[in-house]
């Protein structure tokens, strides 16, 4: 964990921009995949997942030194929970700010993707709730949380960008839900009635499954890395840009 952190306003701007652009990548590549491969759903998913994995990696590398590149309310929440006993991680006011800007950024990212591809503004109609899909969200989120904090605790934060990007890209395929694993992204994808969209009625069940997954991932990381709380604040990667930079 570094001794210098960016001012809160700069961190919030980073989380807003990063989460927004992440949703732009997810939704925009989904729209492009629909246009390029209209008759092949498997190819659409390959195009969408590959672009998302690469885009997420780039965003973590670009913005991680400012805010840690959480781009995800459950990552921020687990960072706060794990760090409380060690005086590390986000403070409550920072957590609240991160969650708000992540959600607002995600909505803006979907709107931006729609605008770029000239897709009419509409609420998504794709109902994604099944027992298998919700289990997939638990698995996807638990794995993501475990990966992020295992890397932070073992001082391998330099690997976080490619590792997290690779994990999300793979989880598109090995989970039935295609790995949303992110409440802000889930909410943002409501605002695009396209390949990547999710109906409003599916949002609360998905977020519930993501919270369960986050709790499972946190429990596993505490079990296997008992002192992980000391690394809170170094997830996804340590923020290292001081107020004079």
SS3 81: helix
Q: What is the pLDDT of residues 51-105, one digit of tens each?
A: 999 999 999 999 999 999 999 999 999 999 998 877 788 999 999 999 999 999 9
Residue % of the chain over a pLDDT of 70: 96
Q: What is the pLDDT of residue 229?
A: 80
pTM of the full structure:
0.94
Q: What is the pLDDT of residue 214?
A: 98
Tokens of 38: 């209209």
Kindly give, in sequence order, each residue whose CB lies less than 8 Å from that of residue 10, ignoring residues fewer than 6 positions away.
Answer: 66, 67, 241
d(CA 144, CA 138): 10
Exposure letters 94-121 (e unless 16+ CB within 10 A, then b) = bbebbbebbbbbbbbbbbbbbeebebee
Which domains, from first to last, does the chain contain? 8-231 (1.20.1080.10)
Q: What is the pLDDT of residues 86-96, one digit of tens each?
A: 778 899 999 99
Contact, 179 vs 104, CB < 8 A? no
């Amino acid at each position: 964990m570094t001794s210098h952190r960016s001012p809160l306003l700069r961190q919030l701007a980073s989380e807003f921009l990063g989460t927004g652009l992440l949703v732009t990548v997810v939704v925009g590549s989904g729209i492009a995949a629909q246009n390029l491969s209209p008759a092949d759903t498997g190819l659409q998913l390959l195009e969408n997942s590959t672009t998302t994995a690469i885009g997420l990696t780039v965003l973590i590398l670009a913005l991680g030194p400012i805010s840690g590149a959480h781009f995800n309310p459950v990552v921020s929440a687990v960072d706060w929970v794990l760090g409380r006993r060690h005086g590390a991680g986000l403070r409550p006011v920072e957590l609240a700010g991160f969650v708000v800007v992540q959600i607002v950024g995600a909505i803006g990212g979907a709107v931006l993707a729609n605008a770029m591809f000239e897709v009419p503004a509409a609420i998504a109609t794709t109902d994604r709730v099944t027992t298998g899909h919700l289990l997939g969200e638990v698995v996807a989120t638990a794995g993501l949380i475990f990966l992020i904090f295992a890397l932070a605790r073992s001082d391998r934060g330099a690997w976080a960008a490619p590792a997290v990007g690779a994990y999300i890209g793979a989880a598109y395929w090995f989970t039935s839900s295609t790995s949303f694993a992110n409440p802000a992204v889930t909410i943002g994808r409501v605002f695009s009635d396209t390949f990547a969209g999710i109906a409003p009625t599916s949002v609360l069940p998905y977020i519930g499954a993501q919270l369960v997954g986050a709790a499972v991932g946190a429990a596993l990381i505490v079990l296997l890395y008992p002192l992980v709380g000391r690394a809170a604040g170094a997830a996804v990667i340590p923020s290292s840009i001081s107020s004079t930079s």
